[in-house]
Amino acid sequence: MTTDVKERPVKKVKVEAPLAVLAELSHRCPLQCPYCSNPVNLEKGSNELDTATWCRVIDEAVAMGVHQVHFSGGEPTVRKDLEQLTQHASDAGLYTNLITSAVLLNEARVNKLADVGMNHIQISFQDSEATNADRIGNFKGGHKKKLEVAGYVRKAGLPLTVNAVMHRQNLHHLEEVIDMAVALDAERLEVAQVQYYGWALKNRAAFMPTYEQLAWATDVVESARKRLKGTLVIDYVVPDYYARRPKVCMGGWGRRFLNINPAGLVLPCHAAESIPSLKFDSVKDHSLEWIWENSEAFNKFRGTDWMPEPCRSCDRREIDWGGCRCQAFALTGDESATDPACDLSPQHEKIFGMASKEAHEKPPEFIYRRIG
């Protein structure tokens, strides 16, 4: 293990400490969701960081002033040391969150995680209806298992968030998904839209809803928010392809969050490896703080100096930071372009038209991949 090496000139950049670290413990996963945003080339289990390195990195994050760690993947519960890492992070004072498909959990393990200091669990659901949910995740019996585990989470006294990725093949069940979250006693529901990078881009036509479907979904969410005020918080973001302005991806590149992939590469976002020109540094070679401040990949799109027009002179440039770099690359081939989700982008009309055309055609079969 080495840290703070001197082989590259250290650029002094004034940056605030990140708020949270997403620790992708493993790319292995029992599910095969066709909207997976992990890279097309996944890290093998044999390349994963060991327990001692993760613990060292957690300590480095705390020393930087990080407040939260999100254990994610792939499926983080494939790691037998999840309890040990949770305990380590909790003892170090971090707020700990688990983002899981839940299908590998049982009651004893949920209780153990609660005992060692897990603060919150997020379970992903593919639908409210079991047959369709299991088809989307390509995992028989998965939905039933998720419902059971959600019950164990609440029984253990842990707060629960339901993550529901919605698209044209399950959006018609949105009202039932909201009812399911209430029945599971979740405190939050994330109605997420498919983000089209990584593996998901291969399946875009299978997922793209029409504008009318989305308008309906927005009405459903608005009325549920009023009805369920004080019971369930619903997070909902209009999908990029139909938005007028882009999402503030990751709170701005290299501003609030960092991701550590299973092999120890430190990324500005979970999909950054989809941009081939970027070079990432590893926690095996440098301290987390050094990487946060000096990594080429982080500094490339930090701030506003890199921006082209129309972002450069736009009054929203320090609000949305030019949108999502991964999406800009996926849709235009240029990671420095204005995110085409913005209707000020010269590419917006063309891409909106393409999405709308796909959404009106018969959806193709899913392309699944075997993970791990």
Site residues (CB under 6 A) for ligand SF4? 245-246, 310-311, 314, 316-317, 320, 322-323, 338-339, 342, 344
Q: Which residue has the tokens 């040990």?
A: 84
Q: Which does 326 bind (CB under 5 to 8 A by kind): ligand SF4, ligand FES, none?
A: ligand FES
Partner in contact with 154, chosen from ligand SF4, ligand FES, none, beta carbon below 5 to 8 Å by kind: none
Rounded distance, CA 97 to CA 124, Å? Answer: 13
Nearest distance from residue 90's CB to ligand FES, in Å? 28
Binding partner of 250, given ligand SF4, ligand FES, none, CB within 5-8 angstroms per partner class? ligand FES
- When asked if residue 250 is in the footprint of ligand FES (CB under 6 A), the reply is yes
Q: What is the dihedral of CA 352, 253, 62, 53, to 10 degrees?
A: 80
Inter-axis angle of helices 107-115 and 142-155, to 10 degrees?
Answer: 40
Whether residue 82 contacts residue 71, with contact meaning beta carbons closer than 8 Å, is answered with yes
If the CB atoms of residues 147 and 250 are measured against ligand FES, the closer one turns out to be: 250
**Least distance CB 171 / ligand FES (angstroms):** 22
The answer to the question of residue 271 lying near ligand FES (CB under 6 A) is yes
Q: Which is nearer to ligand SF4, 293 or 320 (CB)?
A: 320
Query: Which positions from 272 through 311 interact with ligand FES, judged by CB under 6 A?
Result: 272
What is the rounded CA–CA span in Å between residue 47 and residue 26? 9
| 271 contact choice in ligand FES, ligand SF4, none (CB below 5 to 8 Å, kind-dependent) | ligand FES
The 3-state DSSP class for residue 366 equals coil
Query: Alpha helix (H) ranges present in the chain?
Result: 51-64, 82-91, 107-115, 130-137, 142-155, 174-183, 204-207, 211-227, 288-294, 296-300, 325-332, 348-360
Residue 76 Cβ vs ligand SF4, minimum distance, rounded to whole Å: 33
By the 8 A CB rule, do 175 and 128 touch?
no
Residues 305-334 that bind ligand FES (CB under 6 A): 324-327
The footprint of ligand FES (CB under 6 A) covers: 249-250, 269, 271-272, 324-327
